[in-house]
Amino acid sequence: MAAEIVNPRSDSDGTTDEELFDPAFALHRGGKMAVQATVPMRDRDDLSLAYTPGVAKVCSAIAEQPELVHDYTWKSQVVAVVTDGSAVLGLGDIGPEASLPVMEGKAILFKQFGGVDAVPIALDCRDVDEIVDTVARLAPSFGGINLEDISAPRCFEIERRLQERVDIPIFHDDQHGTAVVTLAALRNAAQLTGRPIGGLRAVISGAGAAGVAIAKILVEAGIGDVAVCDRKGIVSAERADLTDVKRDLAGFTNKAGLTGSLEQALDGADVFIGVSGGTVPESAVATMAKDAMIFAMANPNPEIHPDVAHKYAAVVATGRSDFPNQINNVLAFPGIFAGALQVRASRITEGMKLAAAEALAAVVADELSADRVIPSPFDERVAPAVTAAVAAAARAEGVARR
């Protein structure tokens, strides 16, 4: 039975005690962002330039040469943060209105950590066709689209179909941002423990958006082997209950042909990556290889608590900010989009993601310790390094337009 929801005491104006005294409510009141002009509006001359009649000249020029939109509007500097509210943080399907505080938060992270302007857009629809059509029609206003908190497996199809329809980057951060930061941390953890990535066997708990993307980027990076587990155990080609996404996943993972449970997969594994929630028994953790790497990223409760993980692992990471080695997407998406926008990339490729991971890992490569295999989100070196690497990779892969 669901827990009963008890409303806190409300004053005559409808304000509750919680809203009065909780600093989170105080910070969010009125929203966390606003639009600000970048040009003066002091007098009639300013008005005639910023709006009519001056604006007509710019509109006519763009009509004749559409590429000028990048030079004379905000298009090349702004991203849409789009959700349907179906998989918001650890809250699940809470709907578009309730998702807006998160989307606003994402937008200010873009600005703070990457210098990229972003607009939160919460859509009141769940149909894949409708979402794709709506976002594609909005695309002329933006230089990129960051899909956020959309449930799997719809998120995979939405991203793919949108990228087929528009020529600006489509990036599902829950997938690729998580994957980039995970790979960066794993590169440094492998270096710290003196093992090449090609010699590691990893186990991923969770076959949703993040788990699939992490598996893909680890394979692209040359991991020795990776097995992905869902609620029914190891995703393998022998299972008859796989979705199309998991069937594809089985085709490029689990070269060892393992079957059975997550606990069985962990026996002798070098790496555990948790993006699923739940709890992994300590008895299973104890069967992992010596000097294992444990990235238990469920929030707020990691799949393996750090106190347990440290008994068996050389490197431990979580998704929490109160433990060392936080796997935080903010280390990736601002710089990735900043780099893509800088060169007016038409898409974000696997090569650009790999370049982002390598650049992120390199930021602390000379400062490695068990508690420092990934930079802090407040490390000012992060965004410039990722931005430069992504822009260079876009040019190398032929998706840059300047």
User: Domain count of the chain?
Assistant: 2
Query: CA torsion sign, 83 to 89 to 95 to 96?
Result: negative
pLDDT of residue 94: 95
Bind-site residues for a divalent metal cation? 148-149, 174
66 in a structural domain: yes
pLDDT category at 13 given cuts 50, 70, 90 is: low
Give, in degrees to the nearest 5, the angle at Cα 372 between 368 and 374.
100
Contacts of 278 (CB under 8 A, 6+ apart): 205, 298, 303
pLDDT at 124 over 90: yes
Domain residues for 280?
175-336+349-402
Whether 275 and 401 share a structural domain:
yes
Whether 362 and 229 share a structural domain:
yes
Bind-site residues? 148-149, 174, 299, 328
Burial call 149-184: b when 16+ CB within 10 Å, e when fewer: bbbbbbbbbbbebbbeebebbbbbbbbbbbbbbbbb
The average pLDDT across 94-113 equals 96
At position 93, the amino acid (one-letter code) is D
Q: 100, 135, 168 — which closes off a domain?
A: 168
Whether 153 and 207 share a structural domain:
no
342 in a structural domain: no
Token readout for 219 is 């394979």
For 389, phi and psi rounded to 5 degrees?
Answer: -65, -40
Whether 317 and 365 share a structural domain:
yes
pLDDT in tens, 20-31: 678 888 889 899
16 in a structural domain: no
Q: 135, 168, 201 — which closes off a domain?
A: 168
Whether pTM exceeds 0.85: yes
In 3-state terms, what secondary structure has residue 302? coil
Whether 185 and 307 share a structural domain:
yes
CA 328 to chain centre: 8
Q: What is the CATH number of the domain that holds 87?
A: 3.40.50.10380
At position 382, the amino acid (one-letter code) is V
| Count, residues in the chain | 402
Q: How far apart are the first and last CA of the chain?
A: 58
Distance from C-alpha of 78 to C-alpha of 75, rounded to nearest angstrom: 6
Q: Which of 141, 161, 140 is nearest to 150 (CA)?
A: 161
pLDDT of residue 299: 86
pLDDT at 80 over 50: yes
Whether 119 and 244 share a structural domain:
no
Contacts of 301 (CB under 8 A, 6+ apart): 277, 279
pLDDT of residue 331: 97
**H-type helices in 221-342, by residue range?**
244-252, 262-266, 282-285, 306-312, 333-342
Whether 110 and 207 share a structural domain:
no
pLDDT of residue 8: 46
Whether 271 and 240 share a structural domain:
yes
pLDDT of residue 353: 98
pLDDT of residue 9: 45
Q: Are 356 and 332 in contact (CB under 8 A)?
A: yes
- Residue of 106, 216, 246, 353 marked catalytic: 106
Distance from C-alpha of 185 to C-alpha of 190, rounded to nearest angstrom: 9
Q: Is 312 a catalytic residue?
A: no
pLDDT of residue 17: 59
pLDDT at 201 over 80: yes
The average pLDDT across 63-72 equals 96
pLDDT of residue 6: 41
Whether 162 and 84 share a structural domain:
yes
pLDDT of residue 16: 62
pLDDT in tens, 236-288: 999 999 999 999 999 999 999 999 999 999 999 999 999 998 899 999 999 99
Whether 90 and 208 share a structural domain:
no
pLDDT category at 19 given cuts 50, 70, 90 is: low
Q: What is the CATH number of the domain that holds 191?
A: 3.40.50.720
pLDDT of residue 89: 83
pLDDT of residue 18: 61
372 in a structural domain: yes
Bind-site residues for (S)-malate? 299, 328
In 3-state terms, what secondary structure has residue 34? coil
Distance from C-alpha of 158 to C-alpha of 154, rounded to nearest angstrom: 6
The average pLDDT across 165-187 equals 96
pLDDT at 10 over 50: no
25 in a structural domain: no
9 in a structural domain: no
Whether 184 and 74 share a structural domain:
no
35 vs 83, higher pLDDT: 83
Distances (CA, A) of 95 to 86, 88, 109: 6, 8, 22
Please report, rounded to a whole number, the percentage of residues in the chain having pLDDT higher than 90.
89
Whether 202 and 278 share a structural domain:
yes
pLDDT in tens, 286-326: 999 999 999 999 988 999 999 999 999 999 999 999 999 99
Q: 146, 168, 190 — which closes off a domain?
A: 168
The average pLDDT across 176-196 equals 97
What is the residue-averaged pLDDT of the chain? 93
183 in a structural domain: yes
Query: What residues pair up with 293 in beta bridges, in sequence order?
Result: 271, 315
The 3-class SS string of the chain reads: CCCCCCCCCECCCCCEHHHHHCHHHHHHCCCCCCCCCCCCCCCHHHHHHHCCCHHHHHHHHHHHCHHHHHHHCCHHHEEEEEECCCCECCCECCCHHHHHHHHHHHHHHHHHHHCCEEEEEECCCCCHHHHHHHHHHHHHHCCEEEECCCCCCHHHHHHHHHHHHCCCCEEEHHHHHHHHHHHHHHHHHHHHCCCCHHHCEEEEECCCHHHHHHHHHHHHCCCCEEEEEECCEECCCCCCCCCHHHHHHHHHCCCCCCCCCHHHHHCCCCEEEECCCCCCCHHHHCCCCCCEEEEECCCCCCCCCHHHHHHHEEEEEECCCCCCCECCHHHCHHHHHHHHHHCCCCCCCHHHHHHHHHHHHHHCCCCCECCECCCCCCCCCHHHHHHHHHHHHHHHCCCCCC
280 in a structural domain: yes
pLDDT of residue 137: 97
pLDDT of residue 277: 84
pLDDT of residue 14: 60
Please report, rounded to a whole number, the percentage of residues in the chain having pLDDT higher than 70.
95
Give, in degrees to the nearest 5, the angle at Cα 307 between 303 and 308.
60
